[in-house]
Amino acid sequence: MTAISHHISDETLQDYAAGTLNHELEVVIACHLTLCPACRSRSAMAEAFGGAELSGCTPSPTTTSAADLLNRLDDAADSYSTEPPESTKPVVSGDGINQVPMPLQRLLPTTLDKLEWKRLAPGIKQHNLSDRHRKEGAFKLLNLSPGVVLSKHTHHDRELTLVLQGSYQDEIGRFKAGDIADFGDDVMHQPVVDTDKPCIALIATMSPVRYSGMFGRIIQPFVGI
């Protein structure tokens, strides 16, 4: 993995540490954290903020004592003595080599290279990861062919894009594998796939993307990079 140059923002790491994001945004963040030790360290500090808030707060009265809890444990005997089973590993029908971090791989039916894509527009394919209505936000993989230029757009509310393969360039910079784009609605941008390889990216939003431009209005329901 080449050095990562675009990271998760402080406010997104704080929301993640506080547990206020949805499942889809958590997947994108956990994938970037897998690839980025620098953000893992920042994330640990965001969690330590939570620990400090917890130990600094005023305790509420409780009706159960530690002895009550432990006695109940004894009564329940073995039912509490074992750990709950770890979530089962996904069965991947490919050659068994993960090309994407586990939080995403668990959601895919196969490896990334064997994935089925749905064509949306010339040079633009997607693999939807969500069964939600699009008004509730997007969660998908996008596969953009070399040379593809997306319409100029801003991101409404919350949107995260993690590049998995290839790269794209926009007004902000160049986004390569492992880079995450974490911007609010104050950034207008126009991504261009800038190598001869397709660019595959994971995208999650809290709400739909808004495009300007005609082409944008046509593909707006589907695309979100």
Partner 1 sequence: MLNVKSPKTKQSADEKTDREHKLHLGRQLVAVGLHRDRQAFTEVYDYYAGRVKSFLLGKGMNEDTAEELMQEIMLIVWRRAESYDPSKAAASTWIFTIARNRRIDYLRGNSRIEVELDDELLESETPERDQAQLVLDAQNAKRLEQAIEALPIEQRQVLHLSYFRGKSHGAIAAWLDLPVGTVKSRIRLATQSVRAQLIDTDRDDIL
**Residue keyed to tokens 């965001």:** 46
**Residue keyed to tokens 């990562």:** 4
Please return the burial class of 182, using the count of CB atoms within 10 Å of its CB with bins 0-12, 13-18 and 19+.
Answer: buried
Query: DSSP letter string over 125-152?
Result: EEEE---S-GGG--EEEEEE-TT-BPPP
Q: Looking at 27, 28, 29, 39, which residue binds Zn ion (CB under 5 A)?
A: 39
Asked if 36 is part of the footprint of Zn ion (rule: CB under 5 A), the reply reads yes
Evaluate the CA torsion angle 193, 119, 121, 218 in order and state its sign: negative
Q: Looking at 78, 91, 95, 100, which residue binds partner 1 (CB under 8 A)?
A: 100
Q: Based on CB atoms, which residue is closest to Zn ion, 7 or 156?
A: 7
Asked if 19 is part of the footprint of partner 1 (rule: CB under 8 A), the reply reads yes
Asked if 9 is part of the footprint of Zn ion (rule: CB under 5 A), the reply reads no
Asked if 202 is part of the footprint of Zn ion (rule: CB under 5 A), the reply reads no
- Residue 7 touches which of partner 1, Zn ion, none (Cβ within 5-8 Å per kind): Zn ion
DSSP state of 170: -
Asked if 134 is part of the footprint of Zn ion (rule: CB under 5 A), the reply reads no
C-alpha distances (whole Å) from 122 to each of 117, 218, 219 are 13, 12, 11
Q: Which of residues 112-151 bind partner 1 (CB under 8 A)?
A: none
Residues that bind partner 1 (CB under 8 A): 1, 3-4, 9-11, 14-15, 17-21, 23, 26-27, 29-30, 33-38, 40-42, 44-67, 69-70, 73, 80, 83, 87, 97-98, 100-103, 157-158, 184, 186
